[in-house]
Amino acid sequence: MPGVEITFCDESPLGFGWIASEPEFMLRASHALACEDRVWLIDPVDGPGVAERIEALGPVAGVVQLLDRHNRDCAEMAARHGAPLHRLPEVAVPGSPFQAIRTRWMPGWREVALWWPEARVLVCADVLGTAGYFRAPGEAMGLHPMMRLTPPRRLRGLDPEQVLVGHGAGIIGPAAAPALAEALATARRRTPSWLWNLARTRGRGAT
């Protein structure tokens, strides 16, 4: 996308993430994860420096689209790397370490998350986010605003060391599992404070 700038994030021995500058308030995040010297791109947005970082990580084995409306640059990057596009995998991504978990499955909104059990990595699209419009005061990570009243039960009980999200930087390290558990457990009761925070920040001209 012309004019898009990239900020790299979520650096770990397993890979990296990057956030596109446009649209600014959305903090659209993409990820590249490596397993056995092969790289998997998840909900990627193209931008300056991305191809070089991916090439340094290894050959691309596949591109995964987690949300029906997250077309982003998935098809274009799959074609560029000569790799298959796995759109909304139902159970697992063939040839990968990822299990697929349905987090929303209804007309107009079909979404899955990826769980890498050996590495304890959870990758989400819209179900969780760290961008400001996802979070109530005091939250490190929040449910998508339209999921706060119906948190996905299938994510409960996971014990991730990394939670990577589609909007904002992820949470890596000891804080990841508690942040996930808290987001799921408190989403409903914190909805009023989330609404208050959203109204307050918008009133100040923030997003």
Average pLDDT, the chain: 93
Q: Determine phi and psi for 202, rounding to 5 degrees.
A: -65, -35
For the chain, the distance separating the N- and C-terminal CA atoms, rounded to the nearest angstrom, is 22
From residue 113, alpha-carbon distances to 1, 65, 99, 197 in Å are 25, 10, 8, 27
Q: Give the containing element (helix H, strand E) for 199.
A: helix 191-203
Q: How many domains does the chain have?
A: 1
Is 150 a member of any domain? yes
The answer to whether residue 107 scores a pLDDT higher than 90 is: yes
The answer to whether residue 9 scores a pLDDT higher than 60 is: yes
Is 144 a member of any domain? yes
CA distance 205 to 201: 6
The answer to whether residue 2 scores a pLDDT higher than 70 is: no
| pLDDT band at 70; cut points 50, 70, 90 | confident
Is 185 a member of any domain? yes
Is 73 a member of any domain? yes
Is 180 a member of any domain? yes
Q: What percent of the chain has pLDDT over 70?
A: 95
Give the range of the structural domain holding residue 93, as residue numbers without chain letter: 6-203
Of 17 and 199, the structure prediction assigns the larger pLDDT to: 17
Lowest average pLDDT, out of 90-99, 138-147, 170-179, 195-204, goes to 195-204
Is 1 a member of any domain? no
| pLDDT band at 55; cut points 50, 70, 90 | very high
Is 97 a member of any domain? yes
| pLDDT band at 204; cut points 50, 70, 90 | very low
CATH classification at residue 17: 3.60.15.10
Is 11 a member of any domain? yes
pLDDT of residue 3: 73
pLDDT of residue 202: 59
| Closest listed residue to residue 140, CA positions, set 114, 115, 174, 116 | 174
